Structure 1
Amino acid sequence: MADLSNIKEHAEVIGADGVHVGTVDRVVGDRIKLTKEDGGEGHHKGHHHYISGGLVATVEDGTVRLSANADVAITFEEEEEGEEAAN
């Protein structure tokens, strides 16, 4: 896993294949919180999703590159839970 402290707000998150996965809202613990604009489709739209820090391969030049292709990485996205979901 890459050093998540190097990840900045609004950094682009891309899969190993170079396809856009999302935009960083912030890092929360060992996960990357994506902006709501990247919240998916249908009932997944309009709220934050999270990517595990374990999927981060590198952080370079303001871009977070994942170790998995974008289509695989989004299957690992987690939705917000609990108290934060109410916000």
Structure 2
Amino acid sequence: MTDMAGIREHMSIIGADGVHVGTVDRVEGKRIKLTKADSGQGSHQGHHHYVPLSLVAEVEGDKVRLSANGAVAVTFEEEADGTAG
């Protein structure tokens, strides 16, 4: 099992395919809060998104590697209230 306690602020989050998904702001409960800089475009811009910890495959150095490819992981992003992003 991956040690979620190893997830720290400013770590890069990458998909299983090596694609950058976001940057860790902090861990909140069972989710990783992404920095606002990784908030997307349009109505998604300017606020935080979250990735479920259940997608984390491993924490390696300064990277959080997800079990899903980057394009798929983005579809699992959540808003602050837990709804799909």
The answer to whether the superposition gives a TM-score over 0.5 is yes
In the alignment, is the contact (CA less than 8 A) between 1:50 and 1:79 conserved in 2?
A: yes
Point out 4+ residue stretches in structure 1 off by more than 6 angstroms: none
Deviation at 1:81, TM superposition (A): 2.4
Identity, % of aligned pairs?
66
Other-structure match for 1:20: 20
TM-score by length of 2: 0.92
In the alignment, is the contact (CA less than 8 A) between 1:4 and 1:30 conserved in 2?
A: no
- How many residues of Structure 1 are paired with residues of Structure 2 in the alignment? 82
SS at 2:51 equivalent: strand
Partner amino acid, structure 2, of 1:49: H
Other-structure match for 1:85: none
Superposed CA RMSD: 1.3
Partner amino acid, structure 2, of 1:27: V
Other-structure match for 1:44: 44
More helix by share: 1
Partner amino acid, structure 1, of 2:30: D
SS at 1:78 equivalent: coil
Q: Deviations over 1:17-46 (max 9, x none)?
A: 000000000000111000000001100011
TM-score by length of 1: 0.90
Deviation at 1:75, TM superposition (A): 0.1
